[in-house]
Amino acid sequence: MFYYDTKQWMLLIAMAAALSLIFIDQTAISIALPTIQKAFSLNYTDVQWVMNIYAVCLASTLIVGGKLADYMGPKTTYQIGIVFFGLGSLLCGSVSTYSFLLFGRVIQGLSAAIMLPAAAVLVINHFPESERGRAIGFYVGIASVFLALGPMFGGLLLQSFGWYWIFYINIPICLLGLIFAKLVLTEQTYHKQFKFEDFTGYLLISLSLASLITALIESNRHGFGSLIVMILFTVSLIGWTVFIWRSLVIINPIINFKLFKNKTFAICCWIMLQDQAVVVSITFWMLILQYGYLKSPAYSGLLLLTGTFPIIFMAPLSGICRDQFGPILTMRIGAILMCCGSWWIGIVIYNNYPLLWLVAGFFCFGSGTPFVLSTAMGQALSVIKADVRGTASGIINTCKQLGTALGLAIWGTIIGHLYFSFLAKILHKQNGYAGLTVKSLHGLLVQSKSAMQAISHLPLVQQEQLLAQAQLARRESFGICMACVGTVALISFLMTWWMPRQPRYME
């Protein structure tokens, strides 16, 4: 099980560094969001952009990153990406304005899109088919250490040193990945001179994705029926339609839809998109503990450890299960665990059961995650020929990060609309809240300066009552959202029944 030589372990650690940076942005970053909201006096929509602008840049640029890995070689693209990710993290931690924070997140997203496809290809290329499941499992498992410990250490860093250390912690990880890659990856292969044949396609996919995510996020500010939101949805629909049509008729599209003729590859990509949207709900677990229960970042991170820590052990186990029993059974186990975990979490939060009951749901959810994602990624790449695996990896990771972006936007939109709807009912039904609006209470749960000024005229008892009602409204909206999350995980389970038991390999 642990018979890899020193260079192979160094390779896995170096590549896992790239994946760990993505994981950290899903856990440690999100636990700092309430503090960032209070520090910059942000409303609900602005907080969503801190998460989503990174996800949009990453998802829309991964295809380019995959193509760079095919043309320039995965070693070079990996090194370029990890260096710029470190620089972006340094910028995010050093800013004093919200605008520059978003700019730093853009740099992080673009650089992650360059290094992530290359890392997956390097792991696949350095291990034979009989060992890929185990190698992928260790690759994800090593990175999952950061996913698991991210909430706890993120909470401790936040309380001890400040929110900016959430970004600074990325820098030593970048250095570790860069040094190990230089020591182990001694050979570099250039396939041919890089030429971006479908720049129009890249613009279309970027515009379509950005318009869709913007429409979802801004609907919390303007409403679904507003003119600006309807225009954005229309632009996105037209953009996706034109993009798919062009990709089917031109010679060298940015996404080669011929790869989707392989049924195994197509289904794995779709499952990864869905389940990545499910996984990113972890972001809102951390937020509900701080917003809905007013728990400290350190407490929230410690409790979340019960959901992220199992991934460390389950990632290698999922690889062994894939090698021994096949990918279909492995993915089914994972999807059922994620579904049951999501529903349990939703039930506990919505019905206001004891907080520690969440541990069972967190553990179940975290245990199932690598069984689906790492297995689907390894299986999808294994049925694609080696010289286009960089492009295929770009498509796979685009599906994952598209799931991340859509998940953040959709779950955030569901929670936001339900929460503000519940809050509006509270203000409408109860006496004594005249003059208060939902908009004026956006920062109430973090006790932002603007929200506290808005309720300053109320007696202290009424202030505490309003805060308690807002917490309850946030918990109920989160509970309903997790029911939706569990349903998406169930759909992934059902989709495994369409996967071929004997996959066809691309010639």
The pLDDT-based confidence of 365 (bands split at 50, 70, 90) is very high
Q: How does pLDDT run across 384-395, given as a tens digit for each residue?
A: 777 677 677 767
Q: Which of 290, 315, 318, 312 is nearest to 303 (CA)?
A: 290
The residue among 174 and 336 whose pLDDT is bigger is 336
DSSP per-residue letters across 78-146: HHHHHHHHHHHHHHHHH--SHHHHHHHHHHHHHHHHHHHHHHHHHHHHTS-HHHHHHHHHHHHHHHHHH
Q: Is the pLDDT of residue 494 over 60?
A: yes
Q: Which of 270, 266, 252 is nearest to 199 (CA)?
A: 252
The pLDDT-based confidence of 133 (bands split at 50, 70, 90) is low
Q: Which of 99, 118, 116, 95 is nearest to 167 (CA)?
A: 95
Q: How does pLDDT run across 87-102, given as a tens digit for each residue?
A: 999 999 888 889 899 9
The residue among 466 and 481 whose pLDDT is bigger is 481
What is residue 187's predicted lDDT score, i.e. its pLDDT? 56
Q: What are phi and psi of 293, to 5 degrees?
A: -125, -5
DSSP per-residue letters across 342-398: HHHHHHHHHTT--GGGHHHHHHHHHHHHHHHHHHHHHHHHHTS-GGGHHHHHHHHHH
Q: Give CATH for domain 6-188+254-421+472-498.
A: 1.20.1250.20
Can you state the percent helix, strand and coil of the chain, rounding each to 5? 80, 0, 20
Tokens of 16: 């896992």
**Which residue matches tokens 């040193």?**
161
* Spatial distance between the Cα atoms of 428 and 434, rounded to a whole number of angstroms: 8
Tokens of 178: 């860069």
The pLDDT-based confidence of 397 (bands split at 50, 70, 90) is confident
Winning range, highest mean pLDDT, from 65-69, 191-195, 449-453? 449-453
Residue type, 165: W
Cβ-contact 501, 280 below 8 angstroms: no
Averaged pLDDT, 94-117: 88
The pLDDT-based confidence of 502 (bands split at 50, 70, 90) is low
**Which residue matches tokens 């929200």?**
451
Tokens of 417: 């609309």
Q: Which of 107, 83, 77, 59 is nearest to 194 (CA)?
A: 77
* Spatial distance between the Cα atoms of 394 and 253, rounded to a whole number of angstroms: 13
Q: Is the pLDDT of residue 507 over 50?
A: no
Tokens of 235: 């632009």
What is residue 1's predicted lDDT score, i.e. its pLDDT? 47
Q: Which of 164, 44, 161, 30 is nearest to 445 (CA)?
A: 44
What is residue 144's predicted lDDT score, i.e. its pLDDT? 66
Query: For all residues of the chain together, what is the average pLDDT?
Result: 82
Q: Where are the domains of the chain?
A: 6-188+254-421+472-498
- Give the dihedral of Cα atoms 74, 77, 80, 81; nearest 10 deg: -100
**Which residue matches tokens 């503000």?**
420
Q: Which of 487, 448, 489 is nearest to 467 (CA)?
A: 448
Q: How does pLDDT run across 149-180, given as a tens digit for each residue?
A: 777 777 788 878 888 888 888 888 888 888 87
Provide the 8-state DSSP code for 432.
T
The residue among 471 and 20 whose pLDDT is bigger is 471
Burial label, 90 (beta-carbon count in 10 A; 0-12, 13-18, 19+): middle
* Spatial distance between the Cα atoms of 15 and 340, rounded to a whole number of angstroms: 31
The pLDDT-based confidence of 250 (bands split at 50, 70, 90) is confident
Q: Taking the CB of residue 458, how many other CB atoms lie within 10 A of it?
A: 16
Burial 131-150 (b: 16+ CB within 10 A, else e): bbbbbbbbbbbbbbbbbbbb
* Spatial distance between the Cα atoms of 30 and 50, rounded to a whole number of angstroms: 9
* Spatial distance between the Cα atoms of 163 and 39, rounded to a whole number of angstroms: 9
Cβ-contact 407, 273 below 8 angstroms: no
What is residue 434's predicted lDDT score, i.e. its pLDDT? 72
Biggest CA–CA distance in the chain, Å, is: 73
Averaged pLDDT, 244-258: 82
* Spatial distance between the Cα atoms of 390 and 117, rounded to a whole number of angstroms: 6
